Amino acid sequence: MSAPAAVLAGLGGHVPPRAVTNEELSRSMDTTDEWIVRRTGIRRRHWSEPGTATSDLAVEAGHRALKSAGPGAPGDIGLVVLATATPDHQVPSTAPDVAARLGLGTVAALDVGAGCSGFVYALATASAALVAGHAERVLVIGAETFRPYLNPADRGTAVIFGDGAGAVVLRRGTADEPGAIGGVDLGSDGTLNDLVAIPGNGSRSRSTDRAPHPDDRYLRMNGKEVFAHAVRRMAQSSKAALDRAGWDVGQVDHVVGHQANLRILHALARQLGVDRARVVSHLEEVGNTSAASIPLALADAAARGRLRPGDRLLLTSFGAGLTWGSATLTWPGIALP
């Protein structure tokens, strides 16, 4: 009999309604549509209105994923894993509120913080819980509200990040089923934790009497360095996940990489020896949505009919921490709401 595995059973995405074009940004900061498209591939991103928090986006995406998983899904959910770098509060975590608002009762619920790699980390956490028999179904959500953390004076971050949420339902199944999560690879390098950071938000900044600098509440990123690490680490991690799945890179139909920059995705494809046509890209429309980027890209590709049952997917991500993670899966037949 085939080994137990987590199997994809539902998918949904949500972005806030307000789309902000490059042209709109160029009216308030020193940038141009031409620069942003040429250097990143991003054409627009969605930003939440004041008053909207990460849980609001997560509930929308979670609702869609549950609907996509079919009528029995909500009753069987035993765990909610929410990947986010922008939780509603420092305390409490955001997942219990999301679970309650989705009508899931008193299920186990936790946040996973792994920056832009959060969704793959959450997927791995959920898979382990399913395989261990801790739940029959798990709702995994990646959700972010980055707009309040963007420094309008920092054009290296303000043009890149967007808000949104993507969610999947995983069920306990077997490794030979379509939808099964196969090889997983996760890693981190904390010696480089200052390359992407919001320095003023935690116990480190509160541990001194010194008032934090006002800019410390904003996201900071050393874009050039992060770019180089992202390509190298996602390529290495992808190969490790493929090895664990027993797949050759030539068998991969779709590479769904973290949607940070189209040039990063193309460089990754080059390092893996994969044709660019097999790279899934959704960042033109939503920018870098951090932990939401992979499920949002999946929801978009599925809605456009790009993913066919039986196709082989490689998911790979990279983010603050530094963290990285990859996973393989075969695409199941999924009904999108």
Select from 31-39, 241-249, 268-276, 299-307 the region that touches ligand UT7 (CB under 6 A): 31-39
Q: How far is CA 286 from CA 15, 48, 283, 329, in A?
A: 8, 12, 5, 24
Q: What is the C-alpha radius of gyration for the chain, rounded to an integer number of angstroms?
A: 19
Interface residue with ligand UT7 among 141, 226, 252, 313 (CB under 6 A) is 226
The DSSP annotation for 73-112 comes to: HHHHEEEEEEE-SS-S-SSS-SHHHHHHHTT-TT-EEEEE
**Residue 116: active-site member:** yes
**Residue 222: active-site member:** no
Between 130 and 286, name the residue whose CB sits nearer to ligand UT7: 286
Query: Rule CB under 6 A: is residue 159 a binding residue for ligand UT7?
Result: yes
Residue 42 amino acid letter:
I
Query: Rule CB under 6 A: is residue 143 a binding residue for ligand UT7?
Result: no
Interface residue with ligand UT7 among 149, 150, 187, 227 (CB under 6 A) is 227
Interface residue with ligand UT7 among 107, 170, 260, 307 (CB under 6 A) is 260
Burial of 282 from C-beta contacts in 10 A (0-12 / 13-18 / 19+): buried
Q: Which residues pair with 11 in a beta bridge?
A: 168
- In whole angstroms, how close is the CB of 292 to ligand UT7 at the nearest point? 11
Query: Rule CB under 6 A: is residue 231 a binding residue for ligand UT7?
Result: no
Measured distance CA(265)–CA(230) in Å, rounded: 9
Between 36 and 184, name the residue whose CB sits nearer to ligand UT7: 36
Query: Rule CB under 6 A: is residue 116 a binding residue for ligand UT7?
Result: yes
- In whole angstroms, how close is the CB of 323 to ligand UT7 at the nearest point? 10
**Residue 89: active-site member:** no
The one catalytic residue among 46, 258, 261, 282? 258
Between 10 and 257, name the residue whose CB sits nearer to ligand UT7: 257
Full 3-state SS string of 253-322 = CEEEECCCCHHHHHHHHHHHCCCHHHECCCHHHHCECHHHHHHHHHHHHHHCCCCCCCCEEEEEEEECCC
* x/- track of binding to ligand UT7 for residues 56-95 (CB under 6 A): ----------------------------------------
Query: By CB under 6 A, how many residues form the interface with ligand UT7?
Result: 23
Q: How far is CA 312 from CA 183, 238, 266, 302, 306, in A?
A: 12, 13, 19, 13, 12
Full 3-state SS string of 128-159 = HHHHCCCCCEEEEEEEECCHHHCCCCCHHHHC
Query: Rule CB under 6 A: is residue 289 a binding residue for ligand UT7?
Result: no
C-beta separation of 330 from 178 below 8 A: yes
C-beta separation of 163 from 16 below 8 A: yes
- In whole angstroms, how close is the CB of 191 to ligand UT7 at the nearest point? 17
* CA angle, residues 246, 249, 252, in degrees to nearest 5: 95
* x/- track of binding to ligand UT7 for residues 184-223 (CB under 6 A): ------------x--------------------------x
* CA angle, residues 123, 124, 128, in degrees to nearest 5: 115
The one catalytic residue among 22, 201, 261, 288? 288
Interface residue with ligand UT7 among 319, 321, 325, 332 (CB under 6 A) is 319
Query: Rule CB under 6 A: is residue 325 a binding residue for ligand UT7?
Result: no
The one catalytic residue among 14, 22, 46, 116? 116
Catalytically active residues, by annotation: 116, 258, 288
Q: Applying CB under 6 A, which residues contact ligand UT7?
A: 31, 35-36, 39-40, 116, 155-156, 159-160, 196, 223-224, 226-227, 230, 260-261, 264, 288, 290, 318-319
